[in-house]
Structure 1
Amino acid sequence: MSFGDPNNPYGPPQQPAPGYGYPQQQPQQPGYGYPAAPPLGQQGYGQPGYGGYPGGPLTMPGNVKAARVMLFVIAGLQVIGAILIALSAVAISAAKNDEELANNVDFQQLADYSSGALWAMTLVVLAWGVFAIFLGAKFGSGGNGIRITTMVFAIITAVLGIYPFIVIGLVHTVLAVLVAVFVGKSEGAAWFNRSKYPAAH
């Protein structure tokens, strides 16, 4: 017998075969028909989740919730502003019927122009508030399109808050900047790009 013969009792010692008293470290194989789950702690933002769907947070991040609340606050301020502008238009219309001003041609022309502009502004301000409510309501189910639209909305609102300052106001600017920042952060991107199966709120 040669020393290469595995049955040779005088040959070099042989390594034990797998299964004879020594557990072997085998790479874990995924089960049949099911993809392997990623290790715990790696199913966060941007990581693949179960079933082949892209991962993402299961609950709305705090800064995204804050942005949604701020949108609703902006909407409330818009409604208040629309009411105030409408009251101004009504006041100008009532002043037109004043006996002392009835014969003042210049005032009548200015009143006609002002009341018409104020009513138009009322509609615009109210529509902007409704749009803010729509965006906030879509935070639970909307995708990246809602995120981008919200950022554009917030930037425009912030600019309008700077000029004309009296029409929109500093509060609008601060809230709009915060909305744009919170939605634009990585947590906001992960939330709006998450899998919608099932959609979490």
Structure 2
Amino acid sequence: MSFGDPNNPYGQPPQQPGQPGYGYPQQQPPGQPGYGYPTPPAFPQQPYGQPGPVAVMPGSVKAARVMLFVLGGFQALGGLLMMIASAWFAEMFEDVIADDPSISAEDADTVAGIGAGVMIFFGVIVLAFAFWAIFTGVKMATGRGGVRVSAIVYASFVTLFSVLNLVTGNPFALFSLILGILIIVFCANKNGSYWFNRPTY
């Protein structure tokens, strides 16, 4: 009796080509994970908690930030001096008007008070501009497009008032005019666009 005889009903059945033998587990096709193993990711994944690339503030944006601090510092000093000098201005104005016999002492006091109030008012406005410049400069490190717009608008006001002061014969306004123009250029160019539109992670 031969177990290899295909006509023998008691013999071992012939194996089909490409099929595993009886009692053995089926082999996993190559290139696929076996039983009990995790499936590898289709794309490489970034390790958990690892930050993305950090954007570095361009040098021109840093320069614009320093210019904002400089302008804000000078404006803060000027605003404080205007408010302090208002009392001195009121006394001087009152003495000048008192020499005129056609103006009473009460009217002189009223006019001097109005003059002092005007100086204090403009001093507060100058201090507000100083706060605007310094606050914008601080926010440039972490701010987005709104900070960029704020810096450009502020520098536009500085440029406008500097031109008006130059027309009236104030040569010191040339300094603020140059700084205002540079802030606009540095915030509006491609480096400014890169920094204020940088991706966040």
| TM-score tier after normalising by the smaller chain length | 0.5 to 0.7
- CA displacement 1:98-126 (0-9 Å, x = unmatched): 59838744654442222111000000000
1:139 lines up with 2:140 in the alignment: yes
Instruction: Give the corresponding residue for 1:12.
Output: none
Query: Which ranges of structure 1 fall in alignment gaps of 5 or more residues?
Result: 1-30, 37-49
TM-score (norm 2): 0.64
- Which one of the candidate residues 81, 88, 92 is aligned to 2:89? 92
TM-score (norm 1): 0.64
Percent pairwise identity: 30
CA contact (8 A) 2:97 2:108 kept: no
Paired residues for 1:1-201 under 5 Å: 32-34=42-44, 58-95=55-92, 98=95, 101=98, 104-105=103-104, 107-165=108-166, 166=170, 169-197=173-201
**Which amino acid in the other structure matches residue 137 of structure 1?**
V
CA root-mean-square deviation: 3.1
- CA displacement 1:18-47 (0-9 Å, x = unmatched): xxxxxxxxxxxxx724479xxxxxxxxxxx
Q: How many residues align?
A: 151
Q: CA deviation at 1:87?
A: 3.2
SS of the residue 1:32 aligns to? coil
Rg (Cα) greater in structure: 2
CA contact (8 A) 1:101 1:108 kept: no
Q: Structure 1 191/99 Cα, relative in aligned 2: closer, same or farther at 3 Å?
A: closer
Query: Which ranges of structure 2 fall in alignment gaps of 5 or more residues?
Result: 1-40
**Which amino acid in the other structure matches residue 143 of structure 1?**
R
